[in-house]
Amino acid sequence: MKVTIREVAKQAGVAPSTVSRVIANSSRISSKTKARVRETMEALGYHPNFNARNLVNNRTNMLGVIIPGASEVAFQNPFFPEVLRGITTKAYTAGYGLALSTGQTDEDIFNEVKQMVQSCRVDGIILLSSKIDDQIIPYLLEQQFPFVLVGRPDNIATKNITYVNNDNVKAAKLVTEYLLLLGHEAIGFIGGQQEAIVTVDHAAGYEQALHNAAIPMNRDYSVYYQEVLEGGQQAVIELMSLEKPPTALIVADDLMALGVLRMLDEMQVSVPEDISVISFNNVMLSELSSPPLTTVDIHIYELGQKATDALVEKIQTPDIEAKTIIVPHRLIKRQSCKKLDHLAPSK
Amino acid sequence: MKVTIREVAKQAGVAPSTVSRVIANSSRISSKTKARVRETMEALGYHPNFNARNLVNNRTNMLGVIIPGASEVAFQNPFFPEVLRGITTKAYTAGYGLALSTGQTDEDIFNEVKQMVQSCRVDGIILLSSKIDDQIIPYLLEQQFPFVLVGRPDNIATKNITYVNNDNVKAAKLVTEYLLLLGHEAIGFIGGQQEAIVTVDHAAGYEQALHNAAIPMNRDYSVYYQEVLEGGQQAVIELMSLEKPPTALIVADDLMALGVLRMLDEMQVSVPEDISVISFNNVMLSELSSPPLTTVDIHIYELGQKATDALVEKIQTPDIEAKTIIVPHRLIKRQSCKKLDHLAPSK
DNA sequence: GTGAAAGCGCTAACAT
DNA sequence: ATGTTAGCGCTTTCAC
């Protein structure tokens, strides 16, 4: 059936070990033999058996990519395809294949990770965003298995974790300060799922900015929704029915912001005239909404690339020390925010 | 380092083969031994070595997923994450892992496919959408390697290809007829990349409908763009600057339609009052645009699921004959289409 | 510079 | 019902 190293050897009149050395391009094989062997490999259509190599080398040249929570849900958000793009390009150039997690529940996924690790399916793992009380990270640490995290660990103090993240606290602070500068004080905060670390960080940045501006926190102004699209819509209902509704909204994610815009539109509240909206991620679609969204570009693609680079490095240099890579963010001003009216010159 | 089958055997006082049989849950092992062996496996933290198994079994329990063209570009479109979701769930329940292609150029990808096949990296392959003159399919056929195609083969007559598709001709016809019913005759067609089979089918359906309605084709009304977002925008410029611009637009994809809406908005052309827009896919976002898009739901998620089911079946029953699975489509009427004014009762 | 042989961890005859 | 043994296809000492 499949052509093996022995047949190549026989055909080329050398020993199997020689063929193996040719594959590895060993320096102690005469270029003449190399040429001859390569020729027969070509002629016979030889391809090394991946599993046999893996078995003896204890390597797979595969990277595991763990999509958190339900990939079911995750894939609804352009964040994941976008990191995947970044991962993909770097994995390709580094010569690694990608194995995707398929589990839907946290438990399934944890089992998959164990599988990948224990059964030598992958050489390293990329964890896409972490949640509070995650059990995967401690496990990987204990196993001393190479991995990188996109996002940050629950407890920053935890040593030996290489992660690639944005400074989400600062980004949220920036966004809040921007709205404050525009004269808004009643600023609503629509966060993503509460267990997500990014949500925690966003909330922290938001609070810091308000605190620095000496604006008292209004608990009613902070709401959290897991569902991206419906979440945005429900959040608007919740916030806009307050006695004193906010004049500006910080939204966890562009997609969620689209839901927000939609609901606002239905309520005949116009953006940015009646209310300002700002969000995070700068997903491709954010410039296509009406109005185009003011948002924070977090360079998702780069997160994926940097994570992959770091992982490959870690695999190839096991003793390398853990790194923290912070990808910068950037405020993209478009048309969804406006100075609060009573501050406008016309007043 | 890792604990092997021998150690479990020794520890449990049995032969390695017995342990192997316990793993396979062979019926000819006493339940007493099974229990004992399982216990020691647990105690020692044994996990079977994936590569060793693969080597002897010639299976990998992995499915290759080939993202066409540049995954770079592909991932910008929600279509791929969405099929992936479908694939993911079914792969998980069937006990298969997923290996993603990472190549960016057609050539890279073709090499990856060859790798996957020749080096026994995967048991089967899912091809996500096909192009004209694709070289992968002939190769896979020649190798007699299990694969399914999402989309349809270039030449339907080609035998032995299992594929999962929509009836895109019919869908495009439906859409055109719907617009005709609304009184539109000047109907623009904004297609995706011309080499994509889906584009060819869409164009065919569009032409059929016009033909049946005895409306002469206006060549200027058909334009093709590869880029999803900018493509939509450019297409609008091209079509709207015609002497007699269309009163309705058929757009290859929801995302592209968002680009179309955006540009129309900039031109102060209002949808659906001034022009009707209809598209394909019913991606989650399509109901969030303003106005919400009338579109054809092609059940992308189901395409992924069905494809995976078919592939798994094919792997497990190699001699099964090729199937064609057509996933039904459905017109989702929202607010982007309207009766042409001169037909309205007020006229 | 090249060959012979052992072994990676597992499974599947073939014994018993 | 369980043990023995021979490989799967490759790499890698160790000889020469």
CATH number at residue A183: 3.40.50.2300
pLDDT at B36 over 60: yes
Q: Domain for residue A286, yes or no?
A: yes
Q: Domain for residue B117, yes or no?
A: yes
* B144 to chain A: closest CA residue: A1
- Torsion from C-alpha of B2, B3, B6, B8, nearest 10 degrees: -170
A63-115 confidence digits (pLDDT tens): 999 998 665 666 778 888 899 999 999 999 999 999 999 988 888 999 999 98
Q: B212 to chain A nearest CA, in Å?
A: 36
What is the nearest nucleotide to B15, using C1' and CA? Answer: D3
Nucleic acid strand D: bases within 7 A of protein CB = 1-5, 7-13
Give the pLDDT confidence score for residue B1 in this predicted structure. 57
Q: Which residues of A touch B88 (CB under 8 A)?
A: 71-72, 75, 100, 102
Give the pLDDT confidence score for residue B123 in this predicted structure. 96
- Two tokens at A306? 């940097």
Q: Domain for residue B309, yes or no?
A: yes
Give the pLDDT confidence score for residue A344 in this predicted structure. 45
Residue A55 Cβ under 7 A from any strand C atom: yes
Give the pLDDT confidence score for residue B68 in this predicted structure. 81
pLDDT at A280 over 50: yes
Residues A287 and A312 in one domain: no
Give the pLDDT confidence score for residue B347 in this predicted structure. 35
User: Which residue has better confidence, A99 or B79?
Assistant: A99
- State what percent of residues in chain B have pLDDT above 90: 69
Q: Residue A158 — very low, low, confident or very high, per pLDDT cuts 50/70/90?
A: confident
Q: Which residues of A touch B71 (CB under 8 A)?
A: 84-85, 88
Residues B9 and B77 in one domain: no
Interface residue of A285, A287, A290, A293 to substitute, partner B, most B CBs within 10 Å: A285
Its pTM stands at 0.93
* Calpha distance A145→B335 (Å, rounded): 52
Beta strands in B132-243 (DSSP E): 147-150, 162-166, 187-191, 222-224
Residues B129 and B20 in one domain: no
* Calpha distance B55→B119 (Å, rounded): 11
Give the pLDDT confidence score for residue B76 in this predicted structure. 76
Q: Are the beta carbons of A50 and B121 separated by less than 8 Å?
A: yes
Q: Are the beta carbons of B80 and A78 separated by less than 8 Å?
A: no
Q: Across A112-121, B207-216, B286-295, which has the greatest mean pLDDT?
A: B207-216
A51-65 confidence digits (pLDDT tens): 999 999 999 999 999
Interface residue of A44, A62, A83, A100 to substitute, partner B, most B CBs within 10 Å: A100
Domains in chain B, number: 3
Give the pLDDT confidence score for residue B318 in this predicted structure. 85
Give the pLDDT confidence score for residue B71 in this predicted structure. 58
Q: Residue A347 — very low, low, confident or very high, per pLDDT cuts 50/70/90?
A: very low
Residues B148 and B76 in one domain: yes
Of B98, B103, B290, the CB nearest to A100: B98
How high does pLDDT run on average in chain A? 91
Q: Domain for residue B154, yes or no?
A: yes
Give the pLDDT confidence score for residue B170 in this predicted structure. 98
Of B82, B104, B229, the CB nearest to A89: B104
- Torsion from C-alpha of A308, A310, A314, A319, nearest 10 degrees: -170
Q: Domain for residue B342, yes or no?
A: no
- State what percent of residues in chain A have pLDDT above 70: 96
pLDDT at A331 over 80: yes
Give the pLDDT confidence score for residue A27 in this predicted structure. 84
> What 3-state DSSP class applies to B187?
strand
- State what percent of residues in chain B have pLDDT above 70: 96
Please spell the DSSP secondary structure of A148-179, one letter per residue: EEES--SSTT-TT-EEEEE-HHHHHHHHHHHH
Residues B162 and B305 in one domain: yes
Q: Domain for residue B338, yes or no?
A: no
Question: Residue with structure tokens 């999402």?
Answer: B150
Q: Domain for residue B331, yes or no?
A: no
B138-176 confidence digits (pLDDT tens): 999 999 999 999 999 988 777 889 999 999 999 999 999
Q: A289 to chain B nearest CA, in Å?
A: 7
Give the pLDDT confidence score for residue B346 in this predicted structure. 42
Q: Are the beta carbons of A288 and B103 separated by less than 8 Å?
A: no
Give the pLDDT confidence score for residue B133 in this predicted structure. 73
Give the pLDDT confidence score for residue B60 in this predicted structure. 93
> What 3-state DSSP class applies to B331?
strand
Residue B10 Cβ under 7 A from any strand C atom: no
User: Which residue has better confidence, A277 or A33?
Assistant: A277
Q: Domain for residue A43, yes or no?
A: no
- State what percent of residues in chain A have pLDDT above 90: 71
What range does the domain containing B20 cover?
Answer: 1-35
Of B75, B114, B255, the CB nearest to A84: B75
pLDDT at A233 over 70: yes
